[in-house]
Structure formats: structure tokens, C-alpha cells
């Protein structure tokens, strides 16, 4: 399977959000990545429900919604109503993770779980068979434009081994500091989905930046 590209709208120009959503639609990107922050789980606030609803009016490609919020269970049905295709929650924010993932799937979305850089893979070993996506945070969540954490490569490789050992079937997504400089190494390690924010939207030509990431060859291919 070819890897997927999910431009992060957190790095878009909020004054021209419709323009940037349409750029993603016309590009070779596969998903729209939407970060939802509540100012409590992470020290920042981002998109609220009305903005996501507006994005959905222009987005035909799947919306990959990443909840960086406390008690995400409160809003599962609402995000389903907004048209989210993938709904990812943080293991650190869920008291009853299995119940949360079940509720996401029951609401008609693909369940994902995200792990902060310091969080061990052991925290999700018991639910790997219930997941469609695991998001490895390669920066500390909350702000775009941060420097990539190199230990991510090994974490991805270990997750690939766990997936194989359990015969599980989920995508491995990398979020934070992703660009052309490390895309090849991430793909070599086993990544399936690359979330790219600043490297796309701050590029002189975002459409071409997406295309370069989409066609980035695995370094050892």
C-alpha cells in the first residue's frame, strides 16, 4: 500500500481556510488532518465545532480528526455528525480506552489512538486489535512547527513489530515535524500516514510539497 499524506490544517492560513482546504482537495493529499485542542490537555486552543463544520462543507476527502482534549467521550457523537472519518483520542486522556474506541466505531468512524512522545507502547498493547490507526506524536503536542524527536524512528519500528506479533491491522501515523528531510526514514521504519503541517503550508508551492511527500521513495527501496 502506498503511504498516505494528511496535511495538518493547524498550519493553514486561518484567514484563508477555505482556500487551503480546497488546495488539499486538489492536491495528491489523501486526508485532511484536523487537530482539536481544548487548552487543558495541551496548552493551546484550536478548531471548534463551527470551524470543523465549515471545513466539512468544502472537504470531500476524509477528515482525520485528532482530539487533544480531556474526556473525549463527551463529543464522539458530535464529531460523527460533523463528518469525521477517523477519530483519534489520546491514551493519556482516556480512563476507559477500550470503551472509548468501541464508541467511536459504533458511531461510524474509524478509531485511532495517539501517544505522546514519553508514552510507552505498552499502554496500548491490549487494544491494538481494536484500532484502525495509531498516531505516534513526534513532537510534544499543542503547537505546530516544532522540531522532530529522533527517537520516533525506533518507536515506529517497535510498533511495527507489535502489529506483526498480534496480527493486528492498523495504520501507523506520524504527527509532528514531518517533512522531506525525514519522510524517507519514517517510511523505512514502517510509517503508513505522514501528517505534514508547516512543511506543506509554509512551502512556496504547497501542492508541489504534497506531491513530493506523496511520491517520496523509501530510502532502502
Known catalytic residues are: 35, 175
Question: Quick one: which of 131, 143, 208 has its CA closest to 173?
Answer: 131
CB-based burial label for 198 (10 Å; 0-12, 13-18, 19+): middle
The C-alpha angle with vertex 24 and arms to 19 and 30, in degrees rounded to 5, equals 160
CB-based burial label for 167 (10 Å; 0-12, 13-18, 19+): exposed
Beta strands in the chain (DSSP E): 4-7, 32-37, 63-68, 84-90, 110-115, 133-137, 171-175, 193-196
Beta strands in 109-170 (DSSP E): 110-115, 133-137
The C-alpha angle with vertex 46 and arms to 41 and 50, in degrees rounded to 5, equals 120
Amino acid at each position: 500500500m502506498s503511504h498516505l499524506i494528511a496535511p495538518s490544517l493547524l498550519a493553514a492560513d486561518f484567514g484563508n481556510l477555505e482556500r487551503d482546504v480546497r488546495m488539499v482537495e486538489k492536491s495528491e493529499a489523501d486526508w485532511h488532518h484536523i487537530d482539536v485542542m481544548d487548552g487543558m490537555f495541551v496548552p493551546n486552543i484550536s478548531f471548534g465545532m463551527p470551524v470543523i463544520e465549515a471545513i466539512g462543507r468544502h472537504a470531500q476527502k476524509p477528515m482525520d480528526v485528532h482530539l487533544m482534549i480531556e474526556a473525549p467521550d463527551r463529543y464522539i457523537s458530535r464529531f460523527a455528525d460533523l463528518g469525521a472519518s477517523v477519530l483519534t483520542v489520546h491514551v493519556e486522556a482516556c480512563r476507559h480506552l477500550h470503551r472509548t474506541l468501541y464508541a467511536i466505531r459504533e458511531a461510524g468512524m474509524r478509531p485511532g489512538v495517539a501517544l505522546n512522545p514519553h508514552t510507552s507502547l505498552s499502554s496500548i498493547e491490549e487494544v491494538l486489535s481494536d484500532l484502525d490507526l495509531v498516531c505516534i506524536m513526534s513532537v510534544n503536542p499543542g503547537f505546530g512547527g516544532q522540531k522532530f524527536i529522533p527517537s520516533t524512528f525506533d518507536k515506529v519500528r517497535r510498533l511495527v513489530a507489535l502489529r506483526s506479533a498480534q496480527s493486528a491491522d492498523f495504520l501507523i501515523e506520524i504527527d509532528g515535524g514531518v517533512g522531506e528531510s525525514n519522510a524517507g526514514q519514517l517510511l523505512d521504519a514502517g510509517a503508513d500516514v505522514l501528517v505534514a503541517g508547516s512543511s506543506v503550508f509554509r512551502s512556496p508551492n504547497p501542492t508541489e510539497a504534497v506531491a513530493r511527500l506523496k511520491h517520496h521513495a523509501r530510502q532502502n527501496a
